[in-house]
Amino acid sequence: MRVSRGVQRWVAIALIILIGVVYVVLVNLAPAQSHQPIVWVAVPQSDFTTFPASSSGPQVPHFGQIGVQPTTSPAAPSGTPVPSLATFGTGPVPSDVASPKATRTRPAPTVKPRTAHPPGRYLTAGWATMTDTACAAAGAGVRLAFKHAGLAWRGQPVRVWYGKQHADTTLCDWCACGDRHGGPTVLDLPPWMWASFGKDPGVIWIRVERL
């Protein structure tokens, strides 16, 4: 059986009305909550009870008194002296406390200025060999000694000592002499100087002085 659209519409309206009636009935049956306004009632001051400051009951401190009460330290035993602040640090130092060590300052080293000339006339010492020239040939040690003295070595007069004997000559040449017997070769001597020392040409130990 087929229901017309008009009947369907009236059925829907009836259902809506029925639902509304049920909602109203349920709301009316629920316990009503009273929403009464708050009424402020003035209380006379005579109803308040005041307590005098000298009351025998316990006193409750107000906020201004909290934290300012004097603190008391426990009393020291009888017969025990309490040291004052003035007495601290005046007693003897215990033996187990190490005293600070004094720091020793090292004086700054003194720098001696280099003189323009070596002390005295002594230049150097070392081995000597023979040259075929009429004057001496300077080795590296002699040239370096004159350089430290601030002088040019070429043409300088020198005195050569062999033991207690000596002879004077001039530096007119240079030699690239190496070490001999663990010592430097400082001069090549001319033939006439070997004859003055009474030595055959070879290798001898000499001292050189500046004239």
Q: Which of 142, 149, 199 is nearest to 171 (CA)?
A: 142
Spatial separation of the C-alpha atoms in residues 84 and 80, rounded to whole Å = 13
Residue 149: partners with Cβ closer than 8 Å, 6 or more residues away: 116, 117, 118, 210
Alpha-carbon distance of 60 to 67, in angstroms, equals 14
Render each residue's pLDDT in the chain as its tens digit; 211 residues: 566 777 888 888 988 999 988 888 887 876 555 555 665 666 666 665 555 555 455 555 544 444 545 555 555 555 555 555 545 455 555 555 555 555 666 776 654 444 343 445 888 999 999 988 899 999 999 999 999 989 999 999 999 999 999 999 999 999 888 888 888 999 999 999 999 999 999 999 999 999 8
- Give the CA distances from residue 44 to residues 40, 48, 50, 51, in Å, rounded to whole numbers and listed in that order: 13, 8, 14, 17
Q: Is 160 helix (H, G, I), strand (E, B) or coil?
A: strand
Q: Identify the pLDDT of residue 191.
A: 94
> What is the structure's pLDDT at 75?
53
Q: What is the pLDDT of residue 173?
A: 92
Contact 210, 149 (CB under 8 A): yes
User: What φ, ψ does residue 80 adopt, rounded to 5°?
Assistant: -100, 115
Give the model's pLDDT for residue 89: 53
Confirm if 187 and 128 have CB atoms less than 8 A apart: yes
The CB-based long-range contact list for 115-123 (8 Å cut-off, 24+ gap) reads 116/149, 116/150, 117/149, 117/150, 117/151, 117/210, 118/145, 118/148, 118/149, 118/210, 120/209, 121/159, 121/209, 121/210, 121/211, 122/207, 122/208, 122/209, 122/210, 123/158, 123/208, 123/209, 123/210
C-beta separation of 109 from 145 below 8 A: no
